[in-house]
Structure 1
Amino acid sequence: MMSSSANIISPNRSPLSPAAHSRRSPANFLHRSRNFPIPPRNAGEKVAVCLSGKPPKSDESGGGERSGEVMAESAKYLVGTYDRAPLVLASGKGCKLTDVDGREYLDLTSGIAVNALGHGDPDFVRAVSDQITTLTHVSNMYHSLPQVELAKRLVSCSFADRVFFSNSGTEANEAAIKFARKFQRFSRPDNPPLEFIAFSNCFHGRTMGAVALTSKEQYRAPFEPVMPGVTFLEYGNVEEATELIESGRIAAVFVEPVQGEGGIYSAAKEFLQALRASCDKAGSLLVFDEIQCGLGRTGHLWAHEPYGIYPDIMTLAKPLAGGLPIGAVLVTEKVATAINYGDHGSTFAGGPLICNAAVAVLDKISKPEFLSSVSQKGRHFKELLGKKVAGNAHVKEVRGSGLIVGIELDVKAGPFVEACRRSGLLVLTAGKGNVVRLVPPLVISEEELEIAADIIAACLPVLDHNT
């Protein structure tokens, strides 16, 4: 039982007739050499403005000469855990990225929903620069001003009473697993519930505890046996969840209010209400994973805000430090009471440099006017997509909230993503590989969103050749 907060498929299709780009448009250069669909004239003009500069010589992979050299060294020296695009990025500014051969791209990936303020935000740069010349790392053997300041601000703008810092999202979920079990042993020492519930299409990380909570079998199977005691239920199935939670075996329920990696699915309010009620009845903890959907991405500071339903634990990461590695676990006093010295820890987590950067990010994205702009831009973007792409035969649904948007296709999205890249636009996939995930920097302009929508529309015909 899946639900989405926005279904904007338009019944009217607006075919796009190919037209020539501005000569300076990199998209024009690559379309001519790759036979991909060419965006209409107005899109070409906008791309030329946004992605200015002479396009480099292109090889068969879509990269230039310098890119080829770097990719060859990457293949030689790095462990092959990533299927990277043939693209070597060198610099970024705002919502634009530039590769080592000088070509520019409009970034709708944000480093997988990380760079909320885009690239090179002056306040972020200042916070990092000031702190790195003052104090970078001290470990958690000592107190530091930025860590305390960040914790105080997170508590003041959330349901939480206390914060634990980690270095990533998966580490945050590992800590949440440990905190949940420790809480149950503290609360019910004679017969603590130790099992967990997670849901279909969920993603909670790749380390051994977090991957045990991740539904995709391909992530778990090579590393089994993973942590036992996890049951996966259908996302949105109230009856199944209620029955299992109230069985008395569940330490905690992990759920994403908006699933990112899983395909941009938003939970129904009734579903989260039922989870909260059942957890309260059974003494289980409710954990909201807002690693991708939290911190302004939906147009609310927290994705759970519009539901009016609050967790016992919330995990954060991606955008919090603007591209520097951080994770955070926000907990109620009830949970914190069960955690003692030595129960968990990290050498690097909560360091002064990272936390000072995160304070700068949180200061910006928590402002009401900033969040309002994200909501407005999200509505505008979905309206554009509704007009330009939703009538395409391959588009099943456009869904999302704020600036986390998914375009579900009836085929794999890989060829489309490649066509976008060669046209100067970077996008992601999600779900079972058939969802185009759009998570631009939250500072993206409406003009840049219009450019993106035009390129997306112009690249859809590539799917006709890949069915």
Structure 2
Amino acid sequence: MTAACLMSTYQPLALSFTRGLGTRLWDQHGREYLDAVAGVAVTNVGHSHPRLVTAISEQAGLLLHTSNLYSIDWQQRLARRLTQLSGLDRAFFNNSGAEANEAALKLARLHGWKKGIEQPLVVVMENAFHGRTLGTMAASDGPSVRLGFQRLPGDFLRVGFGDLDALERITQQFSARIAAVLLEPIQGESGVLPAPPGYLKALRDHCTRHGWLMMLDEIQTGIGRTGAWFAFQHEGIVPDVMTLAKGLGNGIPIGACLARAGVAELFTPGSHGSTFGGNPLACRVACTVLDIIHEQGLLQNAARQGEHLLDRLRIELDGHLQVRAIRGKGLMIGIELASPYRDLAHRAAQEHGLLINVTRGKIIRLLPPLTLDAREVEMIVRAITRLLD
């Protein structure tokens, strides 16, 4: 099979899968792999879950699309579920994380406009990643993401992630123009960097005090990944806006932007939209994902197995010359290496039957399905240890 007809936006491994079940994938030659990537934090309830197979099959035989010109029952059900779980009030559905973040940035603009700010600013974080549309690239950090796309839209102020002093300095300088803060509770693409303890709560208080929107990108951390429905719940706060995607559809494309009522009402008919967003298939699948996570106790499993995996990695890799740090929350774990390793993901797959992701050249990112069990934890630890040795 040739990739000559595809635009070269990826550098895929010479590996193709034909089927999956639970935490396992099989390639075209029938070889089995333990999936510790989950489609980059997407297949949270595992591959080919029978409940999802049934839901997709039934809904495909009933109704796929009507457009948002009409009421969609499954969309209303999903919005009700997500608002109940999050403490937010309204939801808008689209097809991806980048689209959800674009909706959040539009809300920030409207919030600033309502306050009489002619050129509103949004505070974002160093090393952040929010997507690959022009707007979300502008909010992201890293020259490799933005190379060749200047000048990008939007006005952003960048501060150090977790640096409250830096936030205070820009507040003194730009307070009259700032409308919102956008950040990830755990920076994923940058190497699984959790916000320092207490930072999100301090930021919540700061935003409330200054009338800014606190907007959390939970595209990677949401839907149980960290051992709670949403990562902000570990800090006992509620943001003004939250974005979701990835694990919400377990592979069926869907994104969501949730907001408090007063913020959501900034959108009026015609101010935002999505042709495919919130279609019956995607919303029924997302509702089924939420059912599975709740009924199978996957939040608790993610917390328990994530802690177990962190502990075992720290024990087995203690003192390893190439391991600089091991960190994470729930089943979102990063292993930072002292220097880049060539073809690490390829070697892990070829030599150990383990699928991993390497970000920033030298950070192994583990994002296994939330169904991971203790035996599979040991398989991951053994493979990673042998790989680095």
Aligned to 1:210: 136
Counterpart of 1:400 (choices 319, 325, 328) is 328
For 1:234-383, what aligned pairs fall within 5 Å after superposition?
234-245=160-171, 247-366=175-294, 369-383=297-311
Q: Is the 8 Å Cα contact of residues 202 and 214 (structure 1) preserved in structure 2?
A: yes
Aligned to 2:13: 85
Matched AA of 1:362: L
- Which whole-Å CA distance do the structure 2 matches of 1:225 and 1:102 have between them? 47
Q: Is the 8 Å Cα contact of residues 397 and 407 (structure 1) preserved in structure 2?
A: yes
SS across alignment from 1:222: coil
- Which whole-Å CA distance do the structure 2 matches of 1:199 and 1:332 have between them? 23
Matched AA of 1:194: P
The alignment of Structure 1 onto Structure 2 pairs a total of residues equal to 386
Instruction: Determine if the alignment matches structure 1 residue 425 to structure 2 residue 351.
Output: no
The C-alpha deviation readout for 1:66-95, integer Å capped at 9, x for no partner, is: xxxx2xx11x11001101111111111111
The 1:367/1:182 distance shift into structure 2, 3 A limit, reads farther
- Which whole-Å CA distance do the structure 2 matches of 1:243 and 1:231 have between them? 11
Matched AA of 1:312: D
The C-alpha deviation readout for 1:120-156, integer Å capped at 9, x for no partner, is: 0011111111111111011111111111110010011
Q: Is the 8 Å Cα contact of residues 257 and 267 (structure 1) preserved in structure 2?
A: yes
Q: Is the 8 Å Cα contact of residues 95 and 118 (structure 1) preserved in structure 2?
A: yes
Aligned to 2:67: 139
Aligned to 1:219: 145
Aligned to 2:159: 233
Matched AA of 2:74: P
Matched AA of 1:429: V
Aligned to 1:57: none
The 1:253/1:206 distance shift into structure 2, 3 A limit, reads same
Q: TM-score, normalised by structure 2?
A: 0.96
The C-alpha deviation readout for 1:6-56, integer Å capped at 9, x for no partner, is: xxxxxxxxxxxxxxxxxxxxxxxxxxxxxxxxxxxxxxxxxxxxxxxxxxx
- How far does residue 183 in structure 1 lie from its aligned partner after superposition? 2.1
Aligned to 1:65: none
Q: Is the 8 Å Cα contact of residues 242 and 274 (structure 1) preserved in structure 2?
A: no
- Which whole-Å CA distance do the structure 1 matches of 2:223 and 2:58 have between them? 24
- How far does residue 341 in structure 1 lie from its aligned partner after superposition? 0.5
- How far does residue 227 in structure 1 lie from its aligned partner after superposition? 1.3
Matched AA of 2:191: G
Q: Is the 8 Å Cα contact of residues 390 and 396 (structure 1) preserved in structure 2?
A: no
Matched AA of 2:186: V
Instruction: Determine if the alignment matches structure 1 residue 185 to structure 2 residue 113.
Output: yes
Matched AA of 1:171: E
**Greater Cα offset, 352-361 or 409-418:** 409-418
Aligned to 1:388: 316
Matched AA of 1:428: N
- How far does residue 275 in structure 1 lie from its aligned partner after superposition? 1.7
- Which whole-Å CA distance do the structure 2 matches of 1:281 and 1:131 have between them? 46
**Structure number with larger C-alpha Rg:** 1
Please, which runs of 5 or more residues in structure 2 have no aligned partner?
none
The C-alpha deviation readout for 1:232-276, integer Å capped at 9, x for no partner, is: 111111011133245221121111111111111111233222322
- Which whole-Å CA distance do the structure 2 matches of 1:277 and 1:145 have between them? 37
- How far does residue 193 in structure 1 lie from its aligned partner after superposition? 5.5
Q: Is the 8 Å Cα contact of residues 413 and 429 (structure 1) preserved in structure 2?
A: no
- Which whole-Å CA distance do the structure 1 matches of 2:185 and 2:233 have between them? 10
Matched AA of 1:257: P
- Which whole-Å CA distance do the structure 2 matches of 1:251 and 1:379 have between them? 37
- Which whole-Å CA distance do the structure 1 matches of 2:21 and 2:275 have between them? 32
The 1:393/1:286 distance shift into structure 2, 3 A limit, reads same
Q: Is the 8 Å Cα contact of residues 413 and 435 (structure 1) preserved in structure 2?
A: no
SS across alignment from 2:248: coil
Q: Is the 8 Å Cα contact of residues 413 and 436 (structure 1) preserved in structure 2?
A: no
Matched AA of 1:424: G
SS across alignment from 1:196: strand
Instruction: Determine if the alignment matches structure 1 residue 102 to structure 2 residue 30.
Output: yes
- Which whole-Å CA distance do the structure 2 matches of 1:279 and 1:178 have between them? 18
- Which whole-Å CA distance do the structure 2 matches of 1:114 and 1:105 have between them? 17
- Which whole-Å CA distance do the structure 2 matches of 1:254 and 1:210 have between them? 11
Q: TM-score, normalised by structure 1?
A: 0.80
Q: Is the 8 Å Cα contact of residues 298 and 374 (structure 1) preserved in structure 2?
A: yes
- Which whole-Å CA distance do the structure 2 matches of 1:199 and 1:228 have between them? 15
Aligned to 2:127: 201
The 1:295/1:395 distance shift into structure 2, 3 A limit, reads same
